[in-house]
């Protein structure tokens, strides 16, 4: 792997929730960054959002895995993603001497979106990505840490699925790698066995057969979008495996599910 490689990482809310795993992730990324690799992190925060909403006595409701987001919920989402979670990731990297900059999709016009479905409230579908700010931070040696909150047509904050936001950014940057780090081994077949590699055609068949369902669908769609827009390789990686990111990028270890054209 060339050391100028750009890697866009979707860092899952559940994978971030365990201090030992988040510390190991930060250590691996710091080591790889020092070797010259360029990273962009797009983080989730579903569990942290749910925890705050519970403390605020705001009930959570979901449609097809997407959180119904009214104004009060959107305020909480932005507080958690752009404040608590974003700065926690930046802080973990800073402790290890890795320069990171926390931004959201609203900064620099990074993510522009429209309301996906009025029934979902302030949930956005990404229309366009302007990676200028992200590229500037990368060129200056920073690790951009991006909260998946977009700007709507009227400037209103919109809640965007983190998988979708990360895939859109990976495509816009033409990244060499798009890595979804989550708390699943990868894509499993009908018998629960890991599928190590998939083509878009195979993905279509597995969806038709109801093998790929639920929360795996936005992950797969994010990978396919990134590849279609010019990203070279997409991977769904189990963040529970020790040093999975470093082992994959440095040692080419066969981990997770690779989506390739």
Q: Is position 116 annotated as part of the catalytic site? A: no
Q: Where are the domains of the chain?
A: 6-58+75-104+129-148+160-259
Which one from 105, 121, 219, 256 is the annotated catalytic residue?
219
With cut-offs at 50, 70 and 90, classify the pLDDT of residue 14: low
pLDDT at residue number 165? 96
CA distance 184 to 146: 22
Q: b/e string for 70-95 if b means 16 or more Cβ within 10 A?
A: eeebbebbbebbbeebbebbbebbee
Residues 6 or more apart from 125 whose CB is under 8 A from it?
113, 114, 115, 116, 160, 164
The pTM of this model reads 0.92
13 belongs to the catalytic site: yes
End-to-end Cα distance, the chain: 19
What fold is seen in the domain 6-58+75-104+129-148+160-259?
Carbamate kinase (3.40.1160)
The contacts of residue 162 (CB under 8 Å, 6+ apart) are 10, 12, 13, 42, 43, 44, 45, 148
46 has catalytic annotation: yes
Instruction: Say what angle helices 19-34 and 244-251 make with each other, to 10 degrees.
Output: 30
Assess whether 72 carries a catalytic annotation. no
Q: Which tens digits make up the pLDDT trace of 104-115?
A: 999 999 999 999
45 is known as an active-site residue: no
- The H or E element that residue 219 is part of is helix 216-228
Is residue 84 within 8 A of residue 104, CB to CB? The reply is no
Determine the angle formed by the axes of helices 19-34 and 86-95, rounding to 10 degrees.
60
Other CB atoms within a 10 A radius of the CB of residue 64 amount to 10
Overall average pLDDT of the 114-126 stretch: 95
Q: Given 46, 105, 171, 256, which residue is catalytic?
A: 46
Q: Which of 222, 235, 223 is nearest to 186 (CA)?
A: 235
Exactly one of 13, 45, 121, 239 is catalytic; name it.
13
Helix/strand/coil for 21: helix
Task: For residue range 40-95, list pLDDT tens digits in order.
Answer: 999 999 889 999 999 999 998 988 778 999 999 999 999 999 999 999 999 999 99
Catalytic residue among 163, 167, 186, 256: 163
2 pLDDT more than 70: no
């Amino acid at each position: 792997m060339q050391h100028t490689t750009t890697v866009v990482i979707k860092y899952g809310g559940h994978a971030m929730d365990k201090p030992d795993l988040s510390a190991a992730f930060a250590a691996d990324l710091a080591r790889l960054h020092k070797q010259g690799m360029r990273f962009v992190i797009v983080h989730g925060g579903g569990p942290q959002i749910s925890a705050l909403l519970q403390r605020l006595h705001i009930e959570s409701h979901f449609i097809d895995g997407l959180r119904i987001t009214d104004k009060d919920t959107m305020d909480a989402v932005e507080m958690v993603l752009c404040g608590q979670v974003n700065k926690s990731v930046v802080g973990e990297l800073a402790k290890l001497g890795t320069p990171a900059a926390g931004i959201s999709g609203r900064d620099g016009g990074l993510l522009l979106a429209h309301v996906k479905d009025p029934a979902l409230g302030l949930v956005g579908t990404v229309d366009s990505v302007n990676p200028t700010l992200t590229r500037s931070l990368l060129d200056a040696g920073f690790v951009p840490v991006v909260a998946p909150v977009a700007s709507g047509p009227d400037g209103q904050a919109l809640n965007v699925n983190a998988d979708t936001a990360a895939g859109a950014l990976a495509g816009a940057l033409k990244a060499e790698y798009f890595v979804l780090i989550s708390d699943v081994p990868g894509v499993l077949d009908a018998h629960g066995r890991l599928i190590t590699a998939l083509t878009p055609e195979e993905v279509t068949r597995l969806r038709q057969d109801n093998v790929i369902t639920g929360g795996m669908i936005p992950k797969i769609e994010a990978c396919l979008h990134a590849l279609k827009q010019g990203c070279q390789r997409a991977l769904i990686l189990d963040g529970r495996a020790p040093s999975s990111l470093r082992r994959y990028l440095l040692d080419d270890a066969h981990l997770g599910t690779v989506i390739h054209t």
